[in-house]
């Protein structure tokens, strides 16, 4: 039976890999799971494996954090040893983190085919390292699984052989749907001392928002504008920058903001389900918030997931206080846009479609 090796490295990868891993298991394929360790520790990694039902990784590369070049190089060196010892018939990579590109490049140099989950997404902003990772990974991959129609259009414009591409839908949404009962049984809001529907949820971590004191100060100014309690799960990067720029006192002075530790998958989804609005710079949050029909204000000037602006609840506000104020007025007035049925459709049958693509490629 053919062997499929799936590579994950950061927390957004885990929930995307989970449904596909389950579908491939149903086909009877031998599976090898590799965790690069780009994100590590229980809060950023271990708890996700337990909640998503993923098995313990067969290989944990333990690369840790570092610059983009350091992370990419460490993953390539360690992953090459895994592939040489036990060559799979296909390597599956997920998303757009440094581990994604590193694993794809290593596999292809060893003449091992690659499938890319979330192929074709483009922000057209090359200051984002993820944009570089996405484009290069797609150029290497033998199978391209696109999560939304715009991604197929991007691949077509880039001259990709579209026989390699398949519009599968968004596996993030399918993962959410598979865990909906567990989410409904949670009570994360009251555990954090807030009432369902009476708080905002904020996640900020991207370099362009936190890597300079000026940008991070502008983010704090935006938080001041949002009324009522705000739960702020602090990404390690953001926490470190607040301390480095001597801005942690400034955050503490915003009395209605409640910093908390990074949250497990199900707890975060439960908070998203019952929040009044989200303020974030995340990509995946745009999909999840649109599924829950939660107003989602994104502190970016662009998005690689335009379907959630067009059909979902995402609005791009950047760090512009006027744009944020306008969106907040719509939320308070009850006139903020709602998701269309198309959002739910993007989360149906995704892993099954990808597994069928893998099976066809492997001649099963």
Which residues lie across from 257 on neighbouring strands?
230
Give per-residue pLDDT as tens, 84-95. Answer: 999 999 999 999
* Rounded-to-integer distance, Cα 311 and Cα 100, Å: 28
Which residues lie across from 316 on neighbouring strands?
298
pLDDT for 50 equals 63
Please give the share of the chain, as a percent, with pLDDT higher than 70: 94
Task: Answer whether residue 164 shows pLDDT above 80.
Answer: yes
Maximum Cα interatomic distance, the chain, rounded to a whole number of Å:
61
- In terms of pLDDT, which residue wins out, 10 or 346? 346
Q: Which of 153, 155, 133 is nearest to 144 (CA)?
A: 155
The structure tokens listed for 298 are 């994104």
From the candidates 21, 179, 205, 235, give the one annotated as an active-site residue.
205
CB proximity list for 326: less than 8 A, separation 6 or greater: none
Give per-residue pLDDT as tens, 105-144. Answer: 999 999 999 999 999 999 999 999 999 999 999 999 999 9
- Give the DSSP H/E element, type plus range, for residue 231: strand 230-233
SS3 state at 61: coil
Residue 45 confidence class, pLDDT cut points 50, 70, 90: very low
> Average of pLDDT values for 187-200?
88
> Average of pLDDT values for 33-57?
66
Determine whether 205 is an active site residue: yes
Structural domains in the chain plus CATH codes: 3-169+349-361 (3.40.50.2000), 181-345 (3.40.50.2000)
Task: Answer whether residue 7 shows pLDDT above 50.
Answer: yes
Read off the pTM. Answer: 0.93
pLDDT for 18 equals 86
- Triad 80, 22, 357: Cα angle to 5°: 70
CB atoms within 10 A of CB 92: 30
Q: Which of 173-187, 271-285, 306-320 has the lowest mean pLDDT?
A: 173-187
Residue 62: CA count within 13 A, CB half-sphere: 3
pLDDT for 124 equals 96
């Amino acid at each position: 039976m053919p062997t499929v090796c799936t590579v994950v490295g950061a927390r957004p990868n885990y929930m995307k890999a989970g449904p596909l891993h389950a579908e491939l298991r149903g086909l009877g394929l031998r599976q090898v799971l590799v965790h690069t360790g780009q994100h590590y520790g229980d809060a950023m990694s271990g708890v996700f494996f337990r909640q998503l039902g993923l098995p313990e990784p067969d290989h944990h590369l333990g690369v840790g954090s570092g610059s983009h070049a350091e992370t990419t190089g460490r993953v390539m060196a360690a992953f090459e040893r895994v592939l040489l010892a036990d060559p799979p018939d296909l390597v599956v990579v997920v998303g757009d983190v440094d581990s994604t590109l590193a694993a794809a490049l290593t596999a292809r140099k060893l003449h091992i085919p690659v499938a890319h989950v979330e192929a074709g997404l483009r922000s057209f902003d090359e200051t984002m390292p993820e944009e570089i990772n996405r484009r290069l990974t797609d150029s290497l991959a033998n199978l391209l699984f696109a999560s939304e129609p715009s991604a197929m259009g991007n691949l077509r414009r880039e001259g990709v052989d579209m026989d390699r591409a398949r519009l599968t839908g968004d596996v993030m949404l399918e993962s959410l749907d598979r865990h909906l009962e567990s989410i409904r049984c949670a009570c994360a809001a009251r555990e954090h001392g807030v009432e369902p529907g009476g708080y905002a949820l904020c996640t900020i971590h991207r370099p362009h928002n936190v890597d300079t004191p000026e940008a991070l100060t502008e983010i704090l100014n935006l938080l001041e504008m949002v009324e009522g309690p705000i739960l702020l799960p602090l990404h390690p990067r953001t926490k470190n920058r607040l301390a480095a720029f001597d801005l942690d006192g400034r955050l503490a002075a915003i009395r209605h903001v409640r910093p908390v530790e990074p949250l497990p998958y199900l707890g975060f989804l439960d908070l998203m389900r019952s929040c009044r609005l989200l303020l974030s710079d995340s990509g995946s949050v745009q999909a999840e918030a649109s599924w829950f029909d939660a107003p989602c204000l994104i502190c970016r000037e662009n998005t690689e997931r335009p379907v959630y602006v067009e059909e979902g609840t995402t609005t791009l506000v950047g760090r512009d206080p006027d744009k944020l104020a306008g969106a907040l007025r719509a939320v308070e007035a009850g006139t903020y846009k709602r998701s269309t049925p198309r959002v739910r459709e993007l989360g149906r049958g995704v892993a099954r479609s990808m597994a069928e693509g893998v099976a066809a490629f492997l001649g099963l």
